[in-house]
Structure formats: C-alpha cells, structure tokens
Amino acid sequence: MEALISWISSTALCQAIQNLEWAVPTIQSVHILAVCVMLSSVGMIVLRLMGKAGLRTSVADTARRYVPWMWGALIVLFLSGLLLIIGEPRRELTNYMFQIKMFLVLCAITVIAIFQKSAIRNPDFWNHEPESGRIKMMAVGALILFFAIAVAGRWIAYVIMDYAAA
Amino acid sequence: MDVDSILQKIYDWPISEAIRTDYFWFPFFESIHVIAVTLVVGSIFIVDLRLLGITSNKKPVTELAKEVLPWTWGLFVIGVCAGVLMFISKATNYYNDEYFRYKMLFILLAGLNMAIFHLFTFKTVMHWDRDVPTLTGAKIAGGLSMVFWIIVVFCGRWIGFTVM
C-alpha cells in the first residue's frame, strides 16, 4: 500500500491536482452531480417497487428508463472518484471509511446488475402480487444500501487520519 | 440589534456549540443534507430533462411531475432543516462566506424560474403534455433549472472548503 501511495504521489497528475486549488472541489462537485443522478434513479425505482409512484408504468419500463442512467452515473462516479484518489491517495486508500464504501459499492453494482436483468427478462415476478412483500423489502434494503454509500462517502472526510486534512 | 450580533447569539446557543464541537453531529446532519440535496436536484433533473424533451418522453409531463415533485418538496424541507442545523453551528462564518451567499442566490433564482414557469408556461400544458415536443418556454425553464441547480451543488461543495 505504501509503495502504491508513494508511486501515485509522484505522478504528474497527482501533483497537478494538489497544486490547483480548485481541482479537488471541482472534481467533488462533479462526483456529487453524478450522485444526484444515481440516487434519484434509485429513488424512482424504489418508489415504483413500493407502489408509491409511477404505477402506470411497468417495473420493466421503469428499469429501462432509469437503469441506463445509473450505469452512466457510475462511469462518472468511477472516473471522478479515481481522480480524487490520485489527488489524495493517502486520504482515501488508508481510510477505513473509504474501504467500507468500496465494499458497499461492489454490493450496489451487483444489485443494479441483477435487478436490471431480472426486471426486463422476468417482468412477471415484479408484477406478481404474492411477491409484493418480498419486493418491498428488497426495495427498502437497496435504498438503505445506497444511502449508506453516500454517508460513508461523506464520512471519509471525518475519519481521524495521521495527518490533518478534511 | 444588527445582523452580526444576532448571528453571534445563534453561534453561542448550546445546540450550535454542540453541533460545532461534537465529532458526530456535524457529519451526521451533513450526511442527511447531502442525501436530501442530491435527491432534490436529481428529481428536479428528471422533470427538467422531460421539459427539454430528452428523457421520459412517452410519459405526459403532468403525470411525471405528479409522481416526482411531491417527493422533491418533502426532501427539500428535510434538506433545509439539516442545512439550518449546519448553519447555526457556525452562523457568522456561513453568513460571511461568499459561496454560501451565491448558493442562496441561485436557490432563489431556481425558485423564481420555477414560479415563472408555473404562472405562465405551465398554464398551457394540456397542449404539449404528451406526443408533441414541449414548448420553447418549457425548454428554457428546464434548461435554466438545470444550470441553476448545478451551480447550487458547486457552491455547496465550495462552502466546505471556505468555511473552516
């Protein structure tokens, strides 16, 4: 890990991000705008699964409308997140909150992929009344997972590190 | 009493001091603020993109607005409450921060844009609700809304770097 951190720190990109005062807040703002797209898409799907919004649209069509935007947001989140790691490798890589966040992100990507496949290939399951209790529980679980990622992301700045910076 | 002394009083409240000094409360309210703001802005984008004719075009404008915007308003209230709790913790610092002021200005502009849209353009929505392109006025309102809220997000993140 130390070798990786010192290698990243020596790259021109890392030094450029550190030397430009506006770089980190700008990259973080782009990251948050992608979070806007991601969380609102998750929110619309969850509301549909809970029977709280968009009931005139099928679950499959709701998935077709929002899941591609989630993959798009994920690409922006990945690239902007990567730049933030390159800019401040120690702040991120050695931070246990960052590590928790990355684990939760992997879980979320799996959830998105499984939901997308199932909603479009298996539309009957999602409209099947006896399954509605299970579907609602899955929806709430997914919402909690995505909120937890956002909280962990914000909390990276507050984990006490061996150097001062939040 | 002038603004500065009022803000100083707020700064000195026990609740403000608790949020300012405790390691848990500020990030806690900030997390709620961020989740609420991202959902508010993202849900507004969903409607703006429909007004611009980019997505959800099979769905009538009024139907989409009805299923999205009540949640937007509820989340806006939550975001404001969490934001107020963050504000009082360092009331004087936020009030004097340039980016905080820009953020408030652009929230106001987004609100004005929305009010003008509802008072004028939206009155004729039955003619462009479905199957036809939206009015130019609706496209302008949607575009402005996206620009204003993007600026709000940038200012919000900048406050974190200027208010210490």
Per-residue pLDDT at A130: 83
Q: What does the pLDDT average to over B97-108?
A: 98
Per-residue pLDDT at A161: 62
**Rounded-to-integer distance, Cα A83 and Cα A23, Å:** 10
**Contacts (Cβ under 8 Å, ≥6 apart) of B45:** A36, A37, A40, B146, B149
Closest approach of chain B CAs to the CA of A63, in angstroms?
12
Per-residue pLDDT at A166: 42
Of B39, B56, B59, the CB nearest to A39: B39
Of A25, A40, A147, the CB nearest to B46: A40
Per-residue pLDDT at B85: 98
Contact (CB<8Å) A33/B150 = yes
pLDDT greater than 60 at residue B91: yes
**Rounded-to-integer distance, Cα B31 and Cα A46, Å:** 20
Set of chain B residues whose Cβ sits within 8 Å of the Cβ of A87: none
pLDDT greater than 50 at residue A165: no
Name the pLDDT band for A51 (thresholds 50, 70, 90). Answer: very high
Name the pLDDT band for B109 (thresholds 50, 70, 90). Answer: very high
Q: Average per-residue pLDDT in chain B?
A: 97
Question: Which is more confidently placed, B155 or A164?
Answer: B155
Test the B interface: residue of A88, A104, A154 with most B CBs within 10 Å: A154
Please name the residue that has the structure tokens 């700064």.
Answer: B11
Residue of B nearest to A21 (CA): B161
Closest approach of chain A CAs to the CA of B37, in angstroms?
8
Which pTM value belongs to this model? 0.95
Phi-psi region of A53 (alpha: psi -120 to 50; beta: other; left: phi over 0): beta
**Rounded-to-integer distance, Cα B74 and Cα B52, Å:** 24
Residue A117 touches chain B, beta carbons under 8 Å? no
- Reported as a single tens digit per residue, the pLDDT across A80-127 is 999 999 999 999 999 999 999 999 999 999 999 999 999 999 999 998
User: What ipTM does this complex have?
Assistant: 0.96
Residue of A nearest to B70 (CA): A53
In the structure encoding, which two tokens stand for residue B68, read together? 């999205």
CA dist A105 to A21, A25, A158, B39, Å? 28, 22, 19, 18
pLDDT greater than 90 at residue B1: no
Quote the percentage of chain A above a pLDDT of 90: 90
pLDDT greater than 70 at residue A164: no
How many helices and strands in chain A, by DSSP H and E?
A: 8, 0
Per-residue pLDDT at A133: 92
Of A24, A26, A54, the CB nearest to B67: A54
Test the A interface: residue of B48, B145, B157 with most A CBs within 10 Å: B157
Name the pLDDT band for B51 (thresholds 50, 70, 90). Answer: very high
Strand positions, DSSP E, chain B: none
**Rounded-to-integer distance, Cα A145 and Cα A131, Å:** 21
